[in-house]
Amino acid sequence: MYKHSKEAQSNVTPATALQYLKEGNSRFVNNLRANRDLLSQVNATRDGQYPFATVLSCMDSRTSVELIFDQGLGDIFSIRIAGNVLNQDIVGSMEFGTQLAGTKIIVVLGHTQCGAIKGACDDVHLGQLTQLLNKIKPAIDSDTSTPPENRNGKNPAFVTKVTENNVRNVIEQITAESPIITELVNNGAIKIVGGMYHLETGIVKFFE
């Protein structure tokens, strides 16, 4: 289990960070969550934080990354927004998490049955939500195999395809919009990984 210190963080590699997340999800799925003393973690992190991962995920109430990866206080920078879409503030937060705070991995995490993805597939228009859903439209356009009559939020297979496309598009956007993160990736200091959380099973499947 990850230890909270600058030395421990400096010794974590991108591959190790991914392994921590995989092991945590395995514990979650098998109901073997680590026995943590959260008050002790409060004390351990009161003078500083040394998380090992930055995770962009959906705001869906069923997808708390600290729970599904079985992590504690100070382990993860968690960025949550409907549809795990990207904007400048999120890119800036990722730059802080990696360049300044030292995390070793960025995970873009989609999930099955995502309401934002369904809304984009159904071309929903609702106040400011409209602009957010428009960010997902390129992921819809990327799928050319689904016939027009099935390209909607009621088609689970189509929704899953769009969700996966959206994760991959966001990963491409991160490096396109952030020279800082791109340099870290190219230097091997961090890695960016996509994944899908399955609401039906609790399992995270990473794109590798």
Report the C-alpha gap between 44 and 55 in whole angstroms.
22
- The reply to whether 70 sits in an annotated binding site is no
Contact 83, 132 (CB under 8 A): yes
Q: What residue type is 99 in one-letter code?
A: Q
Report the C-alpha gap between 156 and 162 in whole angstroms.
10
For the stretch 169-180, what's the b/e string if a residue is b when 16 or more beta carbons lie within 10 angstroms of its beta carbon? bbbebbbebbeb
- As to burial, measured by CB atoms within 10 angstroms (0-12 exposed, 13-18 middle, 19+ buried), residue 70 is buried
Tokens for 84, please give them: 């795990």
Ramachandran sector of residue 103 (left: φ over 0; alpha: ψ -120 to 50; beta: rest): beta
For 135, phi then psi, to 5°, come to -70, -20
- The reply to whether 58 sits in an annotated binding site is yes
- The reply to whether 121 sits in an annotated binding site is no
Ramachandran sector of residue 79 (left: φ over 0; alpha: ψ -120 to 50; beta: rest): beta
Which residues are documented as binding site for Zn(2+)? 58, 60, 111, 114
Which residues are documented as binding site? 58, 60, 111, 114
